[in-house]
Chains A and B, each alone.
Chain A
Amino acid sequence: MNAMNEKKINNNKKKCEFEFCKVCNLNHDKGHRHKYFPNHKKSLSAFLSRFQSKLADIRFFLKNPSVLRPEHASRNRFWCVFCDADIDEISSSFACANAINHLASEDHVKNLKHFLWKYGGEMNHMDAYRILEADVAKWEKNCKSLVNEAAPSNDRSNMLQVGPSNDIRNELKNKNINDFENCTFDPIKSNLSNGVMPLHYFTNEYQISHSGLSADTNVGPFVHDAIFSIPADAWISNDLAVDWNSQQPLPYKNLISSSDLSYRGVSQGYQGGGMVNGVTSSQGSHNITQTSATPPKKAGGNVHTGGPPPWFEATEENHLSAELKPISSSFISLSNKPGKKLNPKRVGAAWAERRKIELEMEKRGEIVKSDCDDNWLPNFGRVWQSGSRKESRKEFEKEKQKLPKVESHSEMPLKIKPYISKRMRRDASESE
């Protein structure tokens, strides 16, 4: 026992200086222990999934390189969370070129390893956050061929550019800004011209899936509004290999779905159309989660059956009749009899306990002898008095009694006479 205590003491002696955890966005002094806390793990998974989605977009361009026009270049920035660096595309000729090069670089890998060590990510998934050199080589080849193609036919290249450049703009913008209204992208046109983004589902399938969803109990695939730009879906699909026909639940991290009336929460990781944590529903308002269907309680009753509300249960602990002194007068002497929960020495504790008992008895219907007559007054410490408050009350009552006595003396000689109207009196006096 002692050895264990000593160990504990030793462990607690290590005091770490404050560090900033950029995943949780807070300062802590727990040192290396911080990364094992559940809150941190939660924040980490959210953090990484957000970054993943951005990487997914870059991977798209890795596979489908397209030329980057200079006017769009300034908008395409990419912040690498591992390196804490902004990567812009000002001098690149292809979409996400700088980003791709960065993600393949040695420095980035080093930073990535350091990050995972510091914040406790899983080391086996490291490849998800970088680009392999083989892929980069392939990409460069594709870029060169693009350039060669672009040279002879400018029109074609323009058409080629319309789709992707619009994509970059929309995709990168929509990630941070929640406006999918700016989606000037025409999905059908781009699909035909590019050939890089096949429709992953047919429109009637989409509708069917939606109508079928309300009936299905376990609908995994995320539901999204029709406004979402299709390229966004395509990128996500690329990343996660969706099989739309199968209606199977996506291997998606933070997807929430429950039975029957399903609450379709789209997680933070999905930022395709800029919807973050939104509740999306296609038909009606399926924003309700069903609570666990417990059998109706018959014992207690509920609002509908007219049962008593749970807060009215009489608390047995307040029945301190044995401990209370018998009090003859209705007024509380300043005794400090103990209550059970609140500070027993608080002002008026005894009064409060007694009063509570009285109120409960009244609730139950028993007639309580009411100590409150018309002349009851609270103990009041008067302004100019000295001595205890009870005395001041007695003083006041004495004063009160003096006044009516004085009044009654003057009233005594008055006899009660019936009322005679003025006219009558006038008449009487005139007649006299």
Chain B
Amino acid sequence: MSYVLTTLTKKKEIDSIIRDTIDKVLVLRFGRASDPGCLHLDDLLSKSAREVSKFANIALVDIDSEDVQVYIKYFDISLIPSTIFFFNAHHMKMDSGTADHTKWIGAFHTKQDFIDVVEAIFRGAMKGKMIVNCPLPQERIPKYQLLYKDL
């Protein structure tokens, strides 16, 4: 999968990709390549990378790398795979009925679901919204339990 998508291991790389992706949605997947959930998501991402290429950039972040730990803390990543969306260096939130609106946790059921999500983010961002609603029906959204803060 990583021959299609770039894998980032350094904070500087993440910084530069966030700053340099202009007017396109930046999809950052945080996970590790060996995890099956991440593998599933990576597969979907790499297959749809070309289709969304006009309005989205996709990159993978390896959470096992040292440099990246600050981002893991900053973004509060506790479950993988976690996908965070940026637009013009602004973080985009999505309300999908789950507890955490700041990121997408888990994989997608189909390529089309992913594309729909990215499209919703793009449309919202182009209108000036920083939080968008999730276009997927509830059964297609992976559910999870968030660990509460300070536990």
Interface residues in chain A, defined as those with a beta carbon under 8 Å from any beta carbon in chain B = 332, 334, 336, 342-343, 345-349, 351-352, 355-356, 359, 372, 374, 376-384, 389, 396, 400
Contacts and interface: CB of A to CB of B under 8 A. Distances in A.
A347 B20 contact: no
B30 interface: no
A87 to B, nearest CB: 49
28 contacts: A342-B126, A343-B127, A345-B127, A346-B23, A346-B127, A347-B88, A347-B92, A347-B125, A347-B128, A348-B87, A348-B90, A351-B89, A351-B90, A359-B20, A372-B15, A378-B18, A378-B86, A378-B91, A380-B74, A380-B75, A381-B91, A381-B101, A381-B130, A383-B102, A383-B149, A384-B149, A396-B73, A396-B74
Contacts of A334: 90
Contacts of A389: 90-91
Contact of B22 (A355, A378, A380, A383): A355
Interface string B124-151: 1111111000000000000000100100
Q: How large is the interface on B (under 10, 10 to 19, 20 to 34, 35 or more residues)?
A: 35 or more
B15 A376 contact: yes
Contacts of B91: 378-381, 389
Interface of B: 11-12, 15-16, 18-20, 22-23, 70-71, 73-76, 86-93, 100-102, 124-130, 146, 149
From A336, A343, A348, A372, name the one whose CB has the most chain B CB atoms within 10 angstroms.
Answer: A348
Contacts of A345: 127-128
Contact of B88 (A351, A374, A380, A383): A351
A396 B101 CA distance: 18
B129 A355 contact: no
A384 B149 CA distance: 8
A352 B93 contact: no
Nearest to B22: A352
Q: Which 5 A-B pairs have the closest CB atoms?
A: A348-B88, A345-B128, A347-B125, A348-B90, A352-B88
A346 B89 CA distance: 12
A336 to B, nearest CB: 7
B86 A374 contact: no
Contact of A348 (B89, B100, B101, B146): B89
A346 B88 contact: yes
A355 B74 contact: no
Contacts of A382: 74-76, 102
Contacts of A384: 76, 149
Given A332-B89, A372-B19, 17 more contacts: A343-B126, A346-B87, A346-B88, A347-B129, A351-B88, A351-B90, A355-B22, A355-B89, A374-B12, A377-B70, A378-B18, A379-B90, A380-B74, A380-B102, A381-B93, A381-B130, A396-B74
Nearest to A336: B128
Chain B contact surface mostly:
mixed
Nearest to B124: A347
A346 B87 CA distance: 9
From A342, A347, A355, name the one whose CB has the most chain B CB atoms within 10 angstroms.
Answer: A347
A355 B126 contact: no
Nearest to A373: B15
Contacts of B128: 336, 343, 345-347
Contacts of B86: 378
Given A382-B102, A383-B102, A352 B23 contact: yes
From B70, B90, B102, B146, name the one whose CB has the most chain A CB atoms within 10 angstroms.
Answer: B90
Contact of B90 (A332, A359, A374): A332
A253 B20 CA distance: 55
Contacts of B22: 352, 355-356
Contacts of B124: 347
Contacts of B88: 346-349, 351-352, 355
Contacts of A400: 70, 73
B125 A346 contact: yes
A403 to B, nearest CB: 9
A207 B110 CA distance: 59
B30 to A, nearest CB: 13
B149 A347 contact: no
From B20, B102, B129, B149, name the one whose CB has the most chain A CB atoms within 10 angstroms.
Answer: B102
Nearest to A348: B88
Contacts of B90: 332, 334, 347-348, 351, 378-379, 389
B84 to A, nearest CB: 8
A144 B105 CA distance: 87
Contacts of B23: 342, 346, 352
Contacts of B101: 381, 383
From A359, A374, A384, A389, name the one whose CB has the most chain B CB atoms within 10 angstroms.
Answer: A384
From A343, A359, A377, A380, name the one whose CB has the most chain B CB atoms within 10 angstroms.
Answer: A380
Contacts of B93: 381
Nearest to B24: A352
Nearest to A380: B91
Contacts of A379: 89-91
A384 B151 CA distance: 13
A395 B33 CA distance: 31
